[in-house]
Amino acid sequence: MKSPAEVDEQEVRCPQKFEPTRWRAEKMAVVEELTGREAVIQRLRDVGLRVTGPRLEVLTVLAAGGHLDVEAITTTARERLGTLTSQAVYEMLRHFQETGLVSKFDRPGLPAVFEISGPAHQHALCTVCGRVENVAATAPAPPKGALPQWRVDDAEIVFKGLCPDCRTSAADG
């Protein structure tokens, strides 16, 4: 996949429709790869991290899918481990991000959420409840010459609106 800086103007296009189903299929391949305990152990070793019970549990919680904040990750992992602090989870997530195992998505005014890193994608954010969903879309590159002094490393699109649940609630109310 080309970085935004390598994309030719002719290739720049913004998808007109969301394709969460296709993205979920791609994501499932990554999740399936990480769902088995042995696979999680191997992934930790592959990126040079020591295998510990808490690391295994946090990655297993994330591999179950969705976008989870630190509180949700900590609560779920703590139920299985018996003891785990939020600080320890923050530290693990930092290491997982540095090694590319996990991605972070910042939500304005709300806690950030984390997910297992997978295929390139964008996000849809509900402006009422903060729900985040993945969108199979590629962020466009800036037009040639728009940022002549820059080296663009990444770009992202966040689609903001109402999730199905909040749309239904708004229609009912």
Asked whether residue 9 is assigned to any structural domain, the reply reads no
Domain that holds residue 161: 16-142+150-172
Query: How many Cα atoms within 13 Å fall on the side-chain side of residue 123?
Result: 21
* CATH number assigned to the domain comprising residue 154: 1.10.10.10
For 21-73, how does the pLDDT look when each residue is reduced to its tens digit (9 = 90+)? 444 444 444 444 555 788 888 989 999 999 999 999 999 999 887 899 999 99
Asked whether residue 125 is assigned to any structural domain, the reply reads yes
Strand partners, 122: 135
Asked whether residue 62 is assigned to any structural domain, the reply reads yes
14 marked as part of a ligand binding site = no
Query: How many Cα atoms within 13 Å fall on the side-chain side of residue 13?
Result: 5
Of 99, 86, 24, 96, residue with least CA distance to 59:
96
- The number of distinct structural domains making up the chain is 1
Token pair of 14, please?
């913004």
For 143-172, how does the pLDDT look when each residue is reduced to its tens digit (9 = 90+)? 888 999 998 888 899 999 999 999 998 888
Return d(Cα 54, Cα 4) in angstroms, integer.
36
The residues near 159 (Cβ < 8 Å, ≥ 6 apart) are: 18, 122, 123, 124, 125, 135
Asked whether residue 4 is assigned to any structural domain, the reply reads no
129 marked as part of a ligand binding site = yes
Asked whether residue 36 is assigned to any structural domain, the reply reads yes
The residues near 16 (Cβ < 8 Å, ≥ 6 apart) are: none
Q: What is the pTM of this model?
A: 0.73
